[in-house]
Structure 1
Amino acid sequence: MLAALLDLILPPRCAGCGRAPLPACPLCPACTARLRGDPSPRPPENPPLGMPEVWAAAEYAGAVRRLLVAHKERGRVALAPLLGGCLAETLTAATGGVWPALELVPVPSAPAATRRRGHDPVRRMAAAAVRELRARGRPVTLAPVLRPRRRVADQAGLSAPERAENLAGGFVVPEGRPRASGRVLAVLVDDVVTTGATLAAAAEALRAAGAQAPLAVTVAATRKRVTTTRHARDDRNLVSDRE
């Protein structure tokens, strides 16, 4: 959390480009615009069986990548409201602004990763999205019901089929959690979609618990046709915490 402490002492810099942002804002206007991007369907190539429809706001590159890494790995928790706002806009675009009651279900990090970081970044972003949507009068609640079922191998460098096999059955909704009714839809929330293996495994766990899980929203999506080397480099920051 050193970065958060430094923000209290030193003049803050934009987490996306390093330039000085507007007062009391962790992002400059240009990086804010990049973060909001163009919410649209961004499925991976050859999505795994059972993966829900996925919408993302931007490509996982440049300033957007730096923002997510800063929030997740460097303690820049002040970015959470902006990232949550990005998720809220993406969900609004995905649904056309009209939906029944929704539960936003964050994909959990491994307990060891949460302890190391001092927070669960996806849950924090999802909570910020819920606050913004509820302020607009939307019937949305936060439902952090997923738990890792078991330890999985580091995802970095694995192919898409290997990721799917590695994460199959990797999440569970613990016993005792009320079954979702047909009137409530579960929307999965994550920071980045790469191959879709994580979202497919999370959706499988929700369906097993009786919830409908037709949609996922993320801040960013990796560019299609990336190489294994590029996957590995990016995943060391944003995917391997599922282990």
Structure 2
Amino acid sequence: MNLRGALGGLLRDEFADLFLGSRCVGCQVGGRPLCGECALGLTGAPRRAVPRPLPPSLPATWATVPYEGVARAAIVAHKEDGVGALAAPLGAALAAAVGASMGEERTAVTLVPIPSARRTIRRRGHDPLARITRHAAVTLRRSGHQVRIRPIVRLARRVADQAGLDAAGRQANLDGAFRVVPLRISLQDWGNVIVVDDVVTTGSTLVEAHRALLRAGIPVHAAAVIAATTRRIATAGS
């Protein structure tokens, strides 16, 4: 999607929620889906997210905030309730994690989102991560990055719901679950490839996406997420 299209989507999401009426997901005060004060819960200095135990093949992963409080409420409301206006602040939080993974570089970056099952997209009526990633790309372009979105990772088979599974169960559930669509373009101008998702818990999803990309000959620079769960994730500055 180009910049004009992404901005158009942002405005449609915002006005739709304002027209229908909403309450802040953080403080429940009527008005906007996220008030200015609660929006601070989606900001912070991104840090490395380090699952314990650390799974092999996990790319360096950056998270902007812990998965709790306002961040958790905003991600769930956008994903499950379709609150479209939250895509912009969530996209900004994802962009911050991508930016941290890049350091001071202002090179081209290619965002590869983790795929959702088609049945899940149909149930929700939208693709939450795709929408958040488009907003993240807008933010990154404003910061001087050349950004592409390549949704080239797809599900190769049916997987179970990850909720309730421990680290070993998640890994077994996702083992070999992803494939990469055939490429008809050169990798020369892709720059740094960043795998993006909304939340990292055990890291198993990012590991499998990373493996699928490597099998396709696509090197991964890092992974970036909005939030990291606090129960299994120790964030360490890097």
TM-score (norm 2): 0.85
Instruction: Measure how far apart 1:217 and its partner are.
Output: 0.7
Partner of 1:209: 216
Query: Amino acid of the residue matched to residue 79 of structure 1?
Result: L
Please state how far the C-alpha of 1:94 moved relative to its aligned partner. Answer: 2.6
Q: How much does 1:14 deviate? A: 1.2
2:27 aligned with 1:17: yes
Q: Cα 1:164–1:99, aligned 2, differ >3 Å: closer, same or farther? A: farther
Q: Find the aligned partners of 2:29 and 2:184 in 1 and give their Cα distance.
A: 46
User: Structure 1 pair 16/177, CA: closer, same or farther in 2 (3 Å)?
Assistant: farther
Q: Indicate the residue corresponding to 2:34 in structure 1.
A: 27
Letter of the structure 1 residue corresponding to residue 229 of structure 2: T
Taking the aligned partners of 1:127 and 1:200, their CA distance within structure 2 comes to 23
- Go from structure 1 to structure 2 and tell me whether the alpha carbon gap of 1:66 and 1:170 turns closer, same or farther (over 3 Å shift): same
1:38-75 CA-to-partner distances (Å, cap 9, x unmatched) read: 31111211122111111111111111111000000001
Which residue number in structure 2 is paired with residue 65 of structure 1?
A: 72
Identity %: 43
Distance 2:119 2:186 in 1: 28
Q: Note the alpha carbon deviations across 1:81-112, whole angstroms, 9 max, x for none.
A: 11111111222223223143210011011100
Question: Which residue of 2 is the match for residue 136 of structure 1?
Answer: 143
Q: Is the CA contact (8 Å cut-off) linking 1:36 and 1:86 kept in structure 2?
A: yes
Structure 2's unaligned 5+ residue stretches are 1-12, 234-238
Cα distance change on mapping 1:183 and 1:225 into 2, 3 Å: closer
1:156 to 155, 163, 187: 163
Provide the rounded CA distance (Å) in 2 between the counterparts of 1:134 and 1:9.
29
Does residue 112 of structure 2 align to residue 74 of structure 1?
A: no
Q: Cα offset for 1:168? A: 1.4
Which whole-Å CA distance do the structure 1 matches of 2:190 and 2:82 have between them? 37
Cα offset, 1:161, TM superposition: 1.7
Question: For residues 105-144 of structure 1, what are the structure 2 equivalents within 5 Å?
Answer: 105-144=112-151
Show the counterpart of 2:188: 181
1:84 to 1:6, Cα distance in 2 relative to 1, 3 A:
closer
Q: Which moved more, 1:129-138 or 1:63-72?
A: 129-138
Report the structure, 1 or 2, having the larger strand content. Answer: 2
- String of CA shifts for 1:138-174, please: whole Å, max 9, x gaps: 1111111111010012222222122112111111112
Match status 1:191 vs 2:195: no
Three-state SS of the structure 2 residue aligned to 1:42 is strand
What is the aligned residue count?
221
Once residues 183 and 190 of structure 1 are traced to their aligned partners in structure 2, the CA distance between those partners, rounded to angstroms, is 19
Amino acid corresponding to residue 85 of structure 2 in structure 1: A
| Contact 1:4/1:76 (<8 A) preserved | no
RMSD: 2.3
- The alpha carbon displacement at 1:126 in A equals 0.8
Work out whether residues 182 and 212 of structure 1, in 8 Å CA contact, stay in contact via their aligned partners in 2.
Answer: no
The one-letter amino acid of 1:40's match is R
